[in-house]
Structure 1
């Protein structure tokens, strides 16, 4: 199982300590670094900026929102970053949710699975550069037909001027609902999970198998399919104190990242058996009682989907993800905690030498922890 770092999206300002943490993490054996976007910082710019300070790690968008860009614009950014990084880029895409898509991007959210199919197909056409790109779907039409209101009829199919470094640049899909997970296995090279609980591994494997069965063509076989799970990590001597750091994070996703009628994050956690507790969290959050919402998040839930507590406990808890469908664990949190968890993972494998562990210790001492 590979270890990556999920830097996420920014809150009020750029996070501190990312570059020194990445440099130390790369020496520790870090596999990849990922960025995200919501309705503030974008996913591509920080990845290019921070990624330029690394030499080996893969650079992934985790995730880029499809509604933010046309599929051809996304493919342009992907092939550009892949060239600049020497073939280290991974394109992670996601549909986001109706609040963001309709409220921020001003687009209808309906039929996200069908839209995703068309989107990924166009991206792959651009990256393959075998012929001019065309599309005649329900959501994307290239060129725009002349009978569309406002169209001139002068558009023509085009190929990218840049020759992609890798025509088979990997595309991974973020998904939480069952049908979305199966779709990722069917049309993508990987699946990025949000709240992945190891005890539900069998259910996830069944959904992936369903998607692999529907796969057509000669794209990546299931044996090479990547499953990435974002796992928050907070290293503290006291487990309850560590859980307290993550409670506002979980409460935000349960109560604020979606409406009462449609919240994919809450639905994902409800399926773990915490629906009653999370109904209370959501009610508090929607009523503006954010502190009460955070306090209502069960510690048991946090310990299922995150790594919290002393370094020794984190090291032991890592074993829960070993043997699951997860191929890449994406650590998310303050730089000090992420480095401690990465060092623990490398220690479990016996690959972190004394010099590297010393460098990690020095980094932990100078990087101030921040809230997730």
Structure 2
């Protein structure tokens, strides 16, 4: 597979509007992909639509949009719009997201995430191919939906997948898998479940600074926020970090946030966040690729003296 090199947009230190110039620079720097996210900032589709205008030629991907927060038909319409704007360059990344995003923030019941993701994938395959869909799935029913204008080229669909069951679904029915918060060594285990032919995409958090103490302080906050989510807790238990992260989970459950942060070992932060000078970071990203990652999607973390602009340029393939 041709090596991809992705960037997360918009950038974490600025708005989408203020990201225009740096996004436009990405192709000249050697980046092949721009991937959005959808949590509580920008939505997953608008940044990609703008990047399609500002940086023609980039592959555009969502990593990810939740399957619960949009109805199946609306999700198909949004995907069809992007596929029309960027024919053969848009990749729809979908996933279950988390109880906080789905339930607490969007007032939707977070139930049976594997089944809902599978059913949404199967619906989207038909809808984006231009078929009229009338079908009762395990988690929802659609009656007579047909896109008014199906895309000329149906987008590839990739799944957020952390453990074997979802990885196997991604390999058998989707076009790829997206993962997150893993080390280069972890890539081998994920790849073994996914198989060798399916694209593996991962967002890598990168901090270009030699101030390791600062990275570890910031990294503990980020890790605690993510790894206490049930899906990520189970993911890292499967990866073999269950015991080393047990004190964090126990302190977090008891409401002692400071103790939870202090209990995360340096080696866990160092394994899951890429940091160091630019050359060290690029070499570390290369380890992910060597172990089976097809598409690293970099997410620069602002810290210390290196700005996001400097980091994006220093981490680029043409640096």
Pairwise same-fold verdict (TM > 0.5): yes
* Pairs within 5 Å for 1:321-340: 321-334=288-301, 336=307, 340=311
Show CA shifts across 1:128-181 (max 9, x none): 11x3212122222221xxxxxxxxxxxxx24211131213x1001001122111
Structure-2 residue corresponding to 1:103: 104
Q: CA deviation at 1:52?
A: 2.7
Structure-2 residue corresponding to 1:274: 241
Secondary structure of the residue aligned to 2:149 is coil
Structure-1 residue corresponding to 2:150: 163
Larger radius of gyration: 1
* Pairs within 5 Å for 1:1-372: 1-7=3-9, 14=15, 18-39=19-40, 41-129=42-130, 131-143=131-143, 157-167=144-154, 169-209=155-195, 223=197, 225-255=198-228, 258=229, 263-334=230-301, 336=307, 340=311, 343-344=314-315, 346=317, 352=318, 357=319
**In 2: Cα distance, 1:203 partner to 1:170 partner:** 24
Q: 1:56 to 1:10 in 2, by over 3 A?
A: same
**Aligned 8 A contact 2:67 2:116 in 1:** no
Show CA shifts across 1:198-243 (max 9, x none): 223342233113xxxxxxxxxxxx63x3110111000112223233
Show CA shifts across 1:55-97 (max 9, x none): 1211111100000111221111111112123442110000113
Q: 1:115 to 1:315 in 2, by over 3 A?
A: closer
**Aligned 8 A contact 1:9 1:36 in 2:** no
5+ residue gaps, structure 2, are none
Secondary structure of the residue aligned to 2:61 is strand
For normalisation by structure 2, the TM-score amounts to 0.86
**Aligned 8 A contact 1:233 1:338 in 2:** no
Structure-2 residue corresponding to 1:216: none
Q: Which deviates more, 335-344 or 110-119? A: 335-344
| Alignment coverage as a number of residue pairs | 313
For normalisation by structure 1, the TM-score amounts to 0.75
**Aligned 8 A contact 2:6 2:295 in 1:** yes
Q: 1:141 to 1:9 in 2, by over 3 A?
A: farther
5+ residue gaps, structure 1, are 144-156, 210-221, 347-351, 358-372
**Aligned 8 A contact 2:206 2:274 in 1:** yes
Q: 1:52 to 1:281 in 2, by over 3 A?
A: farther
Secondary structure of the residue aligned to 1:68 is coil
RMSD: 2.7
Show CA shifts across 1:259-280 (max 9, x none): xxxx111222233443344233
Structure-2 residue corresponding to 1:213: none
**In 2: Cα distance, 1:273 partner to 1:158 partner:** 44
Q: 1:342 to 1:290 in 2, by over 3 A?
A: farther
Q: CA deviation at 1:21?
A: 2.7
**In 2: Cα distance, 1:3 partner to 1:338 partner:** 16
